[in-house]
Structure 1
């Protein structure tokens, strides 16, 4: 189980970072864009691997949400969020490779999608990765016992 309030705080930070990387990529500021993309890749990878304690964005979100603003925790299933973090890691890696290869338009497109989905998560609690995870369960490509909230009618995990 993970705290949804922390996840939404992470999404807001990812939105800002991916937007900054997008702007730097459009200006072809490759070293700065790559620095942000490497940070995002590492942060997404830590969370996807279940090492959320190593995630800087999670630490900032826990600090702000729990200690500063004192938001009450709302626990949700971790598996779909870890899956979504894996997608974020893949997108960050792909965008970084595209920047290195100087295919800036494609990198900008990936970063725009990443920014959009993190905005939707942070603002409206809509997690595209979680929706994909639920679809994979329904198609039999992932085990149902991983997240019963994803497939049961009225489930509140997604």
Structure 2
């Protein structure tokens, strides 16, 4: 079971950025077209990815199996734990948006949350700036995240040698 619900480490940054682009498209569509039901597949995707990487995520599967292999970019491997943390942040935000919209009928509040999610995903997709990863790194620096959670995060030269 633990293998089934494992998160990849390392993660291909190219795929991560493409998944983020998909999240931007879905989030913007939900808000622009007033489709509150779209918060459910967005939340499911984040929950699936934080639980098991791309294994149970339709967007993750499309990106890793179809899109990334067809693009002319070299894989850029980055540590998995910060990316998993970022997916967890997305899961919390998108689930909150779904509950606000569908559970309480507060679509405006849900769309504000989706807007924040889309902004963070845009930073990742367009600039390679992972806000969740930066928060994870801050947590490590403050001692909130034990060093053994991500040894590669502390030794950037290990990745360069590999």
In which range does the TM-score fall when normalised by the shorter chain?
A: 0.7 to 0.9
Partner of residue 51 from structure 2, selected from 49, 52, 59: 49
Distance (Å, rounded) in 1 between the aligned partners of 2:158 and 2:115 = 30
Distance (Å, rounded) in 2 between the aligned partners of 1:153 and 1:73 = 17
**Which residue of structure 2 lines up, in the alignment, with residue 33 of structure 1?**
36
Partner of residue 143 from structure 1, selected from 142, 146, 149: 146
**How far has the Cα of 1:24 moved from its partner?**
3.6
Q: Show the 5 A alignment for 1:102-141.
A: 102-141=105-144
**Which residue of structure 2 lines up, in the alignment, with residue 28 of structure 1?**
none
TM-score, L = length of structure 1: 0.85
Q: How many residues align?
A: 149
Deviant stretches of 4+, over 4 Å: 151-156
Q: Show the 5 A alignment for 1:95-106.
A: 95-100=97-102, 101-106=104-109
**How far has the Cα of 1:69 moved from its partner?**
1.8
**How far has the Cα of 1:152 moved from its partner?**
5.4
1:58 paired with 2:60, answer yes
Distance (Å, rounded) in 2 between the aligned partners of 1:121 and 1:96 = 22
**Which residue of structure 1 lines up, in the alignment, with residue 12 of structure 2?**
3
Gaps in structure 2 of 5+ consecutive residues? 1-9
**Which residue of structure 1 lines up, in the alignment, with residue 80 of structure 2?**
78
Q: Which secondary structure state, in structure 1, belongs to the residue aligned with residue 94 of structure 2?
A: helix
Gaps in structure 1 of 5+ consecutive residues? 26-31
